[in-house]
Amino acid sequence: MELSVEELTSVDKEITIKANREDLSEKFDKAYKKYKSQIQMPGFRPGRVPIGLIKKRFGKEIEMEEINSYVEEVYEKEIVPEHEPVGETQMLDMSWENDELEVVFKIGAKPEFELKDLKEIAIDKMVHDVSDEEVEEEIERTLQRQGNWEEVEDEITEESRVTVDAVSLDEDGNPIEGEKDEDQKLDLRQDAAADFREHLVGHKVGDVVEMELGEDEEVDRFELHVKKVEVNHEAELNDEFAKQNSNGQAKNVDEFKSYIKSQMQDYYDQSSDEMFRQDAIQAMAEAHEFEVPEVMLEQIKNNFVEYAKQQSGGDLPPEFDVEEYKENMSEQAVQQAKWGFISHKLQEKFDDIEIKPEDIDEYIGVEAAKYGATAEQLKSYYAQNPNQLENLRNNIRENKVFDKLTEEVTINELSKDEFRKKREEENEKQQIPQV
């Protein structure tokens, strides 16, 4: 047997295994002996079929099977300990001709890099304290949302909600049959309804308004038949309202205000944490320059596709272009792969991380709340699925690494507005089209 390694890049390697019948004959003989006792053939007592006959009849299949197991063995025993492949190893070619076996693997090697000084890495973090004005605004919005709609005979104003039937028109202004949207509710206070607001204000129930949407060549013309006009009566802010809208946690208006405030603060903190995490991963990936094995990228991209599949309910829509999608995701894939290696390095650096039982309890508690199950149910689930348990440990370890990382890196605390401004500037710089 011969092993030859060709380095494609610093992290991509092509390994060729060459072997001939002599290397394999021991395995073959063993397999034939094994099958001899198993094969049942008419005309022969079990175990009495001559090996020559087995070779002639089932030789190809048996040898192919043995070759596969041989290749697997070589991979596990020779390649894995020496090259430590990462990602999914690809088998590029395998041939068994004229008693010569040739197998070509493509493997990814662990990239070599040094961790940067974490203090030099600066990451923005949004810090925002919810102000009383914001609370007032939020309460105002809630009041409007919870208000009652009353049907009126008056003219439509900018504050109204209108129910219309929309009939599409062709170029000559005649209604197109079958293209009718009935009972469409338009809340004219919303920004999305700005076009409608312009045309509808001033009209009454029973009026027919003709309008166009879109620009230049792509114009949709249609008629709106006004069926109902309603105005909103804001709900009253009182103790009863407070109780209803806080799941009974606030007993009066003052408590309701602080309830809303804490909810908003939680929301901001959470999204700020999430964004920080994203930014940190990005910053770490950008700060460390190294190549990522191709096989690993391919694996991550495949995972993305799997995820997209799950998102759309098991099957991809027919117009979905897998290759294009992979192309679009390649930057993200690189980032994720890099983060994988960096996080590994970090784990080595912070080797004092320990997972204690109470960490697991805490994590399970959070998970349970997320899925609406009890902690006990989740625990028994993990007890039954040891693989998942390993995942769980990895997640906890990663969280801990992240906590450590947060302590080490330089954090730029920015207010909400500053943060947003900076984001926009960055986006402009990169010229990423906003979708």
Partner 1 sequence: MSVLVQPLITEKLTRLQEEHQQYAFEVDRNASKPEIRRAIEDKYPDVKVARVNTMIMPSKPKGRYTKSGFVQGRSKVWKKAIITLKEGEIDFFAEI
421 forms part of the interface with partner 1 (CB under 8 A): no
Pick one of 23, 27, 28, 53: the residue that binds partner 1 (CB under 8 A). 53
- The region of 40-48, 102-110, 249-257, 279-287 touching partner 1 under the rule CB under 8 A is 40-48
Task: Give the burial class of 134: count Cβ atoms within 10 A of its Cβ; 0-12 exposed, 13-18 middle, 19 or more buried.
Answer: middle
Query: Which CB, 54 or 229, lies closer to partner 1?
Result: 54
State the minimum distance, in angstroms, from the CB of residue 41 to partner 1. 8
44 forms part of the interface with partner 1 (CB under 8 A): yes
Query: Which CB, 49 or 242, lies closer to partner 1?
Result: 49
43 forms part of the interface with partner 1 (CB under 8 A): yes
State the minimum distance, in angstroms, from the CB of residue 318 to partner 1. 44
141 forms part of the interface with partner 1 (CB under 8 A): no
- The region of 39-47, 256-264, 278-286, 419-427 touching partner 1 under the rule CB under 8 A is 39-47
Query: Which CB, 39 or 188, lies closer to partner 1?
Result: 39
Residue closest to 270 by CA, chosen among 366, 188, 157, 200: 366
Query: Which CB, 48 or 204, lies closer to partner 1?
Result: 48
- Cα atoms found within 13 Å of the Cα of residue 18, Cβ hemisphere only: 6
- The region of 41-49, 79-87, 119-127, 405-413 touching partner 1 under the rule CB under 8 A is 41-49
Q: In angstroms, how far apart are the furthest CA atoms of the chain?
A: 101
Backbone angles phi, psi at 321, to 5 degrees: -100, 105
147 Cβ partners below 8 Å, 6+ apart? Answer: 232, 233, 234, 235
370 forms part of the interface with partner 1 (CB under 8 A): no
13: tokens are 């390697």
- The region of 36-44, 92-100, 121-129, 376-384 touching partner 1 under the rule CB under 8 A is 36-44
State the minimum distance, in angstroms, from the CB of residue 39 to partner 1. 13
Pick one of 21, 48, 204, 420: the residue that binds partner 1 (CB under 8 A). 48
State the minimum distance, in angstroms, from the CB of residue 37 to partner 1. 15
- The DSSP bridge partners found for residue 126 are 414
Residue closest to 12 by CA, chosen among 99, 78, 110: 110
Ramachandran region of residue 248, left (φ > 0), alpha (ψ -120 to 50) or beta? left
- The region of 51-59, 203-211, 299-307, 310-318 touching partner 1 under the rule CB under 8 A is 51-59
Enumerate the H helices of 5-88 as residue ranges.
21-38, 51-74, 80-83
CB 122 within 8 A of CB 283: yes
Through-space distance between the first and last CA atoms of the chain, rounded to whole angstroms: 55
Ramachandran region of residue 183, left (φ > 0), alpha (ψ -120 to 50) or beta? left
Task: Look up residue 28 and give its DSSP letter.
Answer: H
40 forms part of the interface with partner 1 (CB under 8 A): no
- The region of 20-28, 35-43, 316-324, 343-351 touching partner 1 under the rule CB under 8 A is 35-43
Measured CA to CA, the distance from residue 160 to residue 201 in angstroms comes to 9
Q: How many angstroms separate the Cα of 404 from the Cα of each of 336, 343, 353, 399?
A: 19, 11, 9, 9
State the pairing for strand pair 86-97/100-108.
Answer: antiparallel
- The region of 48-56, 217-225, 322-330, 348-356 touching partner 1 under the rule CB under 8 A is 48-56
Query: Which CB, 63 or 124, lies closer to partner 1?
Result: 63
Residue closest to 14 by CA, chosen among 291, 295, 290: 295
Binders of partner 1: how many residues, by CB under 8 A? Answer: 11
- The region of 50-58, 77-85, 161-169, 188-196 touching partner 1 under the rule CB under 8 A is 50-58
Query: Which CB, 44 or 320, lies closer to partner 1?
Result: 44
178 forms part of the interface with partner 1 (CB under 8 A): no
Query: Which CB, 56 or 233, lies closer to partner 1?
Result: 56
Pick one of 33, 56, 77, 145: the residue that binds partner 1 (CB under 8 A). 56
57 forms part of the interface with partner 1 (CB under 8 A): yes
356 forms part of the interface with partner 1 (CB under 8 A): no
Backbone angles phi, psi at 270, to 5 degrees: -65, -45
Binding site for partner 1 (CB under 8 A): 41-45, 48-50, 53, 56-57
